[in-house]
Structure 1
Amino acid sequence: MLLFCFLLYLYKMRNVKHIVIVMLLVALLASLTVISVKAVSGMIAESITGQLQLIYPIFYVMGVIMIVSCAFQIKFLNQAMTMFDATEVVPINFVFFTTSAIVAGISTVSPI
């Protein structure tokens, strides 16, 4: 979260328009999206098996986080596509998104 705030500060206040800054913003939002989607889908799966999860506020909090992080991820990705060439944005996005999704997925796995 601190890294995201620092990158957002560089991007908005300091007007640093480097492709790595923008793509790191997208990747950090992607990791948040991965965590929230995993939480919402797990709660839905638990609700289907009989343990109703929809009564807990965290379900709705994670749903809002999922929607908002997706929206801002698309916003920053569109800004990157307007500022830079697609041949630069797409490969960097692929690497950063994959890395952030793996790290987010690993960090949410509980130990045995």
Structure 2
Amino acid sequence: METCAAMPRITFTDHTGVAREVDAQTGETLMEAAVKNDIPDLEAECGGACACATCHVYIDPAFLSQMGAASAAEQDMLSFASDVRKNSRLSCQILVTEALDGLGVETPETQGEA
């Protein structure tokens, strides 16, 4: 009998404080997990091409070291995002791994421009 590996559990909290827990597939991006689970406040207009800032999120600082630094392209796109913070990332640039199980992600009140 095959055992199914547990999927990483991610909690997305919107700007009003409403939290939604989702099971994410290892290997997909945080943006894909959010879109698949109808997370509000995350527009993802470019579909994950790192060509807009409409999937901007705030990452739980305890997990930042597990996902590596933002690339130069991501940093450039974050300049179009609203209310950028030290823990700001584009969710399309973060691959879900087992190490991200329990990750908390917040969405800002407004997203950047496409």
| TM-score bucket (shorter structure) | under 0.3
* TM-score normalised by the chain length of structure 1: 0.27
Larger radius of gyration: 1
- Higher share of residues assigned helix: 1
